[in-house]
Amino acid sequence: MSYVGPDFDPPQPRRSPLRRPLTVTVAALVVGAVVGLGVWQAVGDSGDGSGTNSAAGRSPHPTPTTAPSATPSPSDDAKDADETKAASPTPSGSSASGPAASGPLKGKVVVIDPGHNPGNFQHTTEINRQVNIGTGMKECDTTGTSTNNGYTEAKFTLDVSRRVRTILEQQGATVKFTQDGARAWGPCIDERARIGNEAKADAVVSIHADGSAAGNRGFHVILPGSVHKGAADTRPIVASSRELGERIAGNFVRATGSAPSNYVGERTGLVTRQDLGGLNLSTVPKVFIECGNMRDTNDAALLTSGAWRQKAAQGISEGIVSFLRG
């Protein structure tokens, strides 16, 4: 997610008075990795691994050693092509899941929100239209960010989202998308929230990648703050969304070996915000996850690796499963 435009304004640094046990554990993993063998070895992961910090005067932290570099291999590219073909949207552009399989999540509904849309670049007039997010007006959507080599956030979010869908459907969940690459642009941020609400989703996860400065690394999960203004009232979902976010953060560390963000969230992997329409307008548990920083070459090497994206999908899915099973 590029912190420019709707739902993507720069977060302001804040110090949380409380740190839940899980987030302390996440931070402890990172610290332990510096003096030991690293989170990667601690969790037994031997694979290839894996916004913008606008706070004035805040210097980037050193690049964490717990998120090793990875260069996509030819086998990754071939795998990506096969999986993209297999996971491509239906001709009608339907975002609905197929019939749910039997499994522990049968009867549960999960909405996955792949951030942005590959076609937003060609529809700037439409995505610049203002929509009401309860606390004010924001643009309908943005184009998202990309790596320095041109791999777009919209392509990344669709790929990871489709991988998540496959995993969750195997667990018996019904999975719905806000968009599956078949529509020309959008949807707007208010419609994305409405899709989750109307589905009466048990959990909604919006998948993104950040567009921050080089040297800023790691993932973070964005939680809804308490908002009660206009059409927005997040009070009923704040606690459940935090639980969802904490479970995703913990499982994301274990699955990918990536460290929590070194530039927002005070290395807890969690950030609370009140300015995101996608969260403000939600009436069901919802979080955003920024899987890494596309503008940092080390993080970009992970984000462009098919093997790492599968790990990211696994971590997100395991967090959702853990939340839904209680």
User: Does residue 55 or residue 248 have the better pLDDT?
Assistant: 248
User: Does residue 171 or residue 76 have the better pLDDT?
Assistant: 171
Most confident of 18-22, 50-54, 61-65, 107-111: 107-111
210-235 pLDDT per residue, tens: 999 999 999 999 999 999 999 999 99
- pLDDT of res. 60: 31
- pLDDT of res. 229: 95
Q: Mean of the pLDDT values across residues 248-259?
A: 98
Residue 182 φ/ψ, nearest 5 degrees: -95, -20
- pLDDT of res. 97: 54
Which structural domains are found in the chain, ordered by start?
38-51+72-325 (3.40.630.40)
CA separation for the pair 307, 304 (Å, rounded): 9
| Mean residue pLDDT across the chain | 79
- pLDDT of res. 102: 83
- pLDDT of res. 150: 97
User: Does residue 14 or residue 295 have the better pLDDT?
Assistant: 295
User: Considering the chain, what percentage of its residues have pLDDT values greater than 90?
Assistant: 68
Q: Mean of the pLDDT values across residues 96-103?
A: 65
List the 203-210 sheet strands across, edge first.
174-177, 109-114, 203-210, 286-293, 220-224, 270-273
Q: Indicate if the pLDDT at residue 66 is higher than 80.
A: no
Beta bridge partners of 210: 293
Beta bridge partners of 67: none
Q: Indicate if the pLDDT at residue 320 is higher than 70.
A: yes
CA separation for the pair 49, 12 (Å, rounded): 30
Q: Mean of the pLDDT values across residues 44-72?
A: 33
User: Considering the chain, what percentage of its residues have pLDDT values greater than 70?
Assistant: 69
Q: Indicate if the pLDDT at residue 277 is higher than 60.
A: yes
Residues in the chain: 326
The residues annotated as belonging to the active site are: 290
112-130 pLDDT per residue, tens: 999 999 999 999 999 999 9
